[in-house]
Amino acid sequence: MLAIIGGTGLTQLANLAITHRQVARTPYGEASGALTFGNINGHEVIFLARHGYGHTIPPHQVNYRANIWALKDQNVTHIVSVASVGGIHADLTPGTLVIPNQIIDYTYGRKTTFFDGNNEHPVTHIDFTEPYCEEMRQRIMTAATDAKENYIDNGVYACVQGPRLETAAEINRLERDGATMVGMTGMPEASLARELDLRYAAIGVVANHAAGRGTSKIAISGNEVQTTINAAMGRVRNVLENIVALHHEA
């Protein structure tokens, strides 16, 4: 079973024929919202809005453990995450789709593991050398090519705490650390998926130049960000249609 987790700008899938919704309660509390079951072009898929269907949950308060557990509980095996990011590298201009291959985690205070010693699971140290499933990354890129949508392969996702945006100096620091994009939701989502042996990869939608870069040299315009996201999400939906088809062919 394939699941899609939608971020900012993707709180619903217009191309998803919904069959039913199911409230997800887990040992870790409730997920961000009801799981939406349906199909895209006849292929079954589960959709979950990371920030809630009204976009009411800030990134640092998302119940990542409940979200991932709820999907696993529904026999999900593969996850495509869609998230908006700020472009640090010069190539990552607003509207670009990027398939990251690495993460640097700058978050704090989040529930980051299922293996915290407070349940029946023994402490487990997962290998996280390659944080994204390469099989899924390749499937996303094949789907983008089939959909005739341009994308950038590889990139380092810096996950920051939020919900505020970064200072120009912070972006300079992230760049020195090797990051090419910045977002607020990539962790611990990716590592929790790895803990439950789910094949997880992401599509980054560049919503804006990061602080101090390009059109964000002085400030980041919320209106421009929203306009960019709205335009890009149509392209993302095209890619997702092809991902779903490829997944069911595999």
**What pLDDT does residue 54 have?**
79
Alpha helices, H only, 13-123: 64-73
CB burial readout 145-178, b (16+ within 10 A) else e: eebebebbeebbbbbbebeebbeeebbbebbeee
- CATH 3.40.50.1580 describes domain 2-249: yes
**What pLDDT does residue 17 have?**
81
**Rounded mean pLDDT of 222-229?**
85
Domain boundaries along the sequence of the chain: 2-249
**What pLDDT does residue 14 have?**
64
Total H helices, total E strands in the chain: 5, 13
Q: Give the tokens for residue 234.
A: 């149509």
Q: How many percent of the chain have pLDDT more than 70?
A: 95
Under the banding of pLDDT at 50, 70 and 90, the label for residue 158 is: very high
**What pLDDT does residue 40 have?**
85
Nearest to 84 by CA among 1, 171, 159: 159
**Rounded mean pLDDT of 220-227?**
84
Tens-place pLDDT, residues 119-151:
666 778 899 999 999 999 999 999 999 999 999
DSSP single-letter state for residue 247: H
Asked if residue 100 lies in contact with residue 202, where contact means CB atoms within 8 angstroms, the answer is yes
Query: What's the rounded Cα separation, in Å, for the pair 210 and 172?
Result: 10
**Rounded mean pLDDT of 39-64?**
90
**What pLDDT does residue 71 have?**
97
